[in-house]
Structure formats: C-alpha cells, structure tokens
Amino acid sequence: MNCSDKENLKERTLALRDTLDLLGGKWKICILRNLYFGTMRFKDLQETVSGISPKVLSKMLYDLEQNLLITRKVNNTKPITVSYTITEYAKETIPVIEALLDFGLKHRRRIKAK
Amino acid sequence: MNCSDKENLKERTLALRDTLDLLGGKWKICILRNLYFGTMRFKDLQETVSGISPKVLSKMLYDLEQNLLITRKVNNTKPITVSYTITEYAKETIPVIEALLDFGLKHRRRIKAK
C-alpha cells in the first residue's frame, strides 16, 4: 500500500491534525465537559475550570465558537452577562475524546509495566 | 463539575497527550497502516511510505518499537536485512485513528461550508 497514492493522504493528514488541534489541549476538553451539563456564564466557567486565567478562557471560548462547538449569547442583564452553550454538533466529539483517553490510559499502564 | 477535583484530570491529560504524541504525526500512522498488511523490510517501507527520508523512517520505527507497537528483527541474510512487524497490541490503535480521522474529515467539511 502506498499511503500517498491509494488514499487521499493529504486530506486525511489535515483532518487528523484538525482534530488534534481542536481537542489537543486540556482546557478545551475540560470546558466542553463542563458545558455538557448545561449553559454556563463566563464567571461560572472560570470557577469550575480551575487554574485557567480569564485571558486564556476567553481565547479557548473564542476558538470553540469559531469551530461551531459552542454558542455565545450576550444577556441583556445589568451588568451584562455572557453565557455559553454546547452545540449538538459538539456532542460528536465525545466518542473521539473517550477513544483517545481510553487508549492513552491503557498505554501508560503498559509502558510503565515494561 | 470541577475538572481538577472530580476526575483525575492530570492523569487524563497526560493520557491524552500520550495518545496525541504517539499518533499525531502522519508518518507513524502511515507506517502502522502499511505494516498492518504484513511484515516488511526497512527498504520496502521506505518505498511505500513515499516522501520519508531513511533518517526519519529510522527514528519513527525506533519510537514505535519503544512504544511496543512494532517489533524489529535482524535477519541473518547476506547482506543483513531488518524487518518490522506490527504487534497485536498496535491493532488497538486502529479504532482511535479511525475516530480521529472520521471526526476530522467531517469537521473540515463543516467548517468549509460555514
């Protein structure tokens, strides 16, 4: 099998990198897992995703929104609040994350036992 | 949910990174996919994994061997040849790779259509 010819390797490689970029960091997965239980305001997210700075949280939320994984809503409250909701589409990432975690956990045990 | 407390986030994050490190590059997945069809010699791998340099191929094979995904055998031929075989364990990476690729391909289409 010649990987370059027989499959569209370039597209597959890009697709793989996209997924890795999208889910590679610990924050995004943690944010998604929080939002999976319901809509949250920025402030609440900052509290539950412990250790994250407001600046980084902002950046992560922006990336997730651009990738259609969450939606952002500005609420007409005083003071104004912003809330985030996971999209139906984002729920498709769950099996991917689980597959990565399962293999990684198993692999760590295996390598440690070597 | 507080990610840090309620789950063993550190271990999960490390496990995730391990998987991403292990499968993140295009070469390793291509090598594994080739070996899935049978044992191959270094020279044959170099031909089918087009575009890879001998130095990089050597490095990738070493990493895969260290991670118990392939075995290396020196054959008593003239000249000496080295052949590589995928381990049973490595076959467990297949669903992980497929999950990453599937989501990535779908995601690219979705983002392009935006």
Residue B49, SS3 per DSSP: coil
Domain contains B51: yes
DSSP assignment letter at A67: T
Domain contains B52: yes
pLDDT tens-place values along chain A, 114 residues long: 455 444 566 677 677 767 777 876 668 888 887 898 899 999 999 988 878 899 999 999 999 999 999 999 999 999 999 999 999 999 888 888 888 878 888 888 888 887
Q: Which residues of B touch A20 (CB under 8 A)?
A: 20, 24, 100
Output the pTM of the full model. 0.66
Q: What domain range is B71 assigned to?
A: 27-113
Tell me which chain B residue has its CA closest to the CA of residue A36: B1
B48: CATH? 1.10.10.10
Residues 6+ apart with CB under 8 A from A109: none
Q: How far apart are CA B33 and CA A2, in angstroms?
A: 10
CB B101 within 8 A of CB A12: yes
| pLDDT of the residue at B13 | 67
Burial class of A81 by CB neighbour count within 10 A (0 to 12, 13 to 18, 19+): middle
DSSP assignment letter at B92: G
Domain contains B49: yes
Domain contains A46: yes
ipTM exceeding the 0.85 mark? no
Domain contains B48: yes
Domain count, chain A: 1
